[in-house]
Structure 1
Amino acid sequence: MPDPLLEVTGLKKHFPVKNGLLRRVVGQVKAVDGVDFTINRGETFGLVGESGCGKSTTGRTVLRLEEPTGGEVVYHHEELGPVNIGTADRQQLKRLRPEMQIIFQDPFSSLDARMTVGRIIAEPMVINRTHHGRELRDRVAELLTVVGLRPEHASRYPHAFSGGQRQRIGIARALALNPKLIVCDEPVSALDVSVQAQVLNLLESLQAQFDLTYLFVSHDLSVVEHIADRVAVMYLGKVVEVGTTDQLFYSPKMPYTEALLSALPKPDPRKRTRPTLLTGDVPSPANPPHGCHFHPRCKYAQDRCRTEVPQLRDLGGGQLAACHLADSLELKGAEPLPDVPVISAEEAVRAAASRNSRPPADVAPHGTQGAMS
């Protein structure tokens, strides 16, 4: 049976729009507008969507780094039981904070350039008074080793490290208080592709080692496909589809999800297809369309979509979609990855050696017979 760690119900975060000399409120930017999802213990829950859809704001509001406008965020604490983070008092938040941490998107601005790496990682433990003296130094050295760095790096400053190494420092800081839930706010979007793979593999190994639960926020569906167990798709402040990774990638029920998947690079270059081009611009969250927010850009839209707001409903197998036509549409999912034969490390070395081998000096390369020396 699923064991929920975090339950989000009707979460809202609206930012006031002020105008005039007296700075009166003339409107609201509905960055998050009624979001529902549940994260089970030990799983990686992906949250995806276009830039500006509200996914990062959702992650920050879940941790109460942003004060919610409405809704509930219930965290299941082992001792305190279910606690609504949005209405928790100071003492409850003090008990909850160590169990909920965040990895920020930018590994350059998220680390204080005036502090050594050791002080950066030690700061959460100093504030919460969990370690002191030699015990604190040993814990910092242990965390650096866990994330793939060396203990002597503790005396250096952030400018001495690459982007991938800085993100590892941010991960070590997030692990300092032995958290249960970590919000990963696009943790690899600022990194090179090869470094992305290393950081993702590190996050997976840490999850298995420390029994972590991730809320993984990203706009890159190929990254989410690799790491997530279940995925929620956001559009204009609302969750429009939820399902397992296989359900969402290979059997989408929402036209917006189909459009996102069509933009993914194809594993087989011979099967090139045109991505689904969405008409029009993304509507403003300060003035969202009536009915289904996606209907101005949806090629399947009907009259009902323009007037009636679709509810997130169960379509079977745990897959949810907020679309009036979800039962009748046959949408195209992502291309399945090709089967790649598994070879041993020794075979890979031999294959690389054969590719790099040169012909003997007395044998002319192919296509150069008869050429003048």
Structure 2
Amino acid sequence: MSSVETKTPGGAQAAAANTPDRAKVLLEVKNLKKYFPIKRGFFSKTVGHVKAVDDVSFYVRSGETLGLVGESGCGKTTTGRVILRAIDPTAGEIWFEDQDMGRVNVATLEPQQLKRLRRNMQMVFQDPYSSLNPRMTLLQNVGEPLLVNKVASGKELEDRVAYLLKVVGLRPEYMNRYPHAFSGGQRQRIGIARALALNPQLIVLDEPVSALDVSVQAQILNLLQDLQKEFGLTYLFIAHDLSVVEHISDRVAVMYVGQLVESATTEELYLRPLHPYTEALLSAVPKPDPKDRTEPIVLPGDVADPANPPSGCYFHPRCRYNDGKRCVTETPTLREVRPSHFVRCHYAGELNLVGVDGSHG
């Protein structure tokens, strides 16, 4: 398959599934898979695979934020890393509307093409303490992308780094200090400045506030929203905190055991969920009203093993709506049940599920 799509009107690639407006779609992921081999024995024979990402499809429009949520180990971070080709995918397509190369399939790009692409796709990591090189100053940490890509050097580099630090709320005179001199929130601001260095189109945010205090989380979230408006950025926001995701996301996609089980606009998904797993996640969101005594839905059993997932619907062993027949034997597909509301459940639309506000959808 070619890495760069030929823009032919009415062509096979021109009509993408589940994309309402092709002109506005920046990133489109189709049937993405990432399997890690399980090796055993003296000869390291492959005896199975961990299905970390298992047939995931979604899109992100230019200028919007898509929140990717789910329990720990569901494949959120792996999805983000595969999209950036930090990890090579096992199968699937990753179409990106690059401002320099046009519409390209990231999954099949050659190393030289990938190097060019990465200027327009950046990542902010979860841990602000380990994501920065402790032996490098702020000038070196933030300026490294500019040097590697031969964008700036010398005085021009210093001016660019000073500007980036001001943009994220730090003083330019800090550029000769080392990361250990800063708090967690300040270090995350440095990481954001580094991600902005090359004026990217897409930034993958891998739980960027989960390691920070609640008050600092709000500051970083507000900063990200301000930067999005100022620079026209597009975010893939990976998180497990649904309150945080609701605050920043335009649309939300829910993952379970490597699969995407539901996606919709934030308001639609939070108020009218269609998947039982989403309903359970929303029931655990803290309520601001102290008089609200609604008990969260406690799911029985453990999260399924991605190396040995159950038959049929992966969620059926924990689902209180499991019919014991179709749910166990037949694998559900991701389908559009309401306009722009996709869900992977046999009985989506038939169940009377409860939203985050306690009302029935």
Q: Same fold (TM over 0.5)?
A: yes
Q: 1:139 aligns with which of 137, 155, 160?
A: 160
Please state how far the C-alpha of 1:80 moved relative to its aligned partner.
2.0
Unmatched 5+ stretches in structure 1: 337-373
Structure 2 residue 336 is matched with structure 1 residue 317: no
Structure 2 residue 289 is matched with structure 1 residue 268: yes
Structure 2 residue 134 is matched with structure 1 residue 105: no
May I ask how many residue pairs the two structures share in their alignment? 336
The aligned counterpart of 2:46 is 25
For 1:312, give the aligned amino acid: L
For 1:176, give the aligned amino acid: A
**Taking every aligned residue pair, what percent have the same amino acid on both sides?**
62
CA–CA distance in structure 2, aligned partners of residues 21 and 119 of structure 1: 44
For 2:259, give the aligned amino acid: K
Deviation sequence 1:332-364 (CA, Å, 0-9, x none): 01028xxxxxxxxxxxxxxxxxxxxxxxxxxxx
CA–CA distance in structure 2, aligned partners of residues 58 and 310 of structure 1: 21
CA–CA distance in structure 2, aligned partners of residues 58 and 95 of structure 1: 21
Structure 2 residue 184 is matched with structure 1 residue 163: yes
Q: TM-score, normalised by structure 1?
A: 0.89
What are the residue-to-residue correspondences of 1:274-313 with 2, within 5 Å? 274-302=295-323, 303-313=325-335
The aligned counterpart of 1:195 is 216
CA–CA distance in structure 2, aligned partners of residues 31 and 77 of structure 1: 27
The aligned counterpart of 1:178 is 199
For 2:329, give the aligned amino acid: T
Structure 2 residue 21 is matched with structure 1 residue 5: no
Q: TM-score, normalised by structure 2?
A: 0.92
Deviation sequence 1:135-163 (CA, Å, 0-9, x none): 10000000000000000110100000000
CA–CA distance in structure 2, aligned partners of residues 81 and 155 of structure 1: 38
Structure 2 residue 280 is matched with structure 1 residue 239: no
Asked whether the equivalents of residues 104 and 110 of structure 1 are also in contact (C-alpha less than 8 Å), the reply is yes
Q: 1:95 aligns with which of 116, 119, 128?
A: 116
Please state how far the C-alpha of 1:211 moved relative to its aligned partner.
0.3
Structure 2 residue 62 is matched with structure 1 residue 41: yes
For 1:88, give the aligned amino acid: L
For 2:170, give the aligned amino acid: L
* DSSP 3-state at the match of 1:13: strand
Higher alpha-carbon Rg: 1
For 2:191, give the aligned amino acid: G
CA–CA distance in structure 1, aligned partners of residues 101 and 132 of structure 2: 32
CA–CA distance in structure 2, aligned partners of residues 81 and 154 of structure 1: 35
Runs of 4+ in 1 over 4 A off after TM superposition: none
Asked whether the equivalents of residues 111 and 158 of structure 1 are also in contact (C-alpha less than 8 Å), the reply is yes
CA–CA distance in structure 1, aligned partners of residues 148 and 122 of structure 2: 14
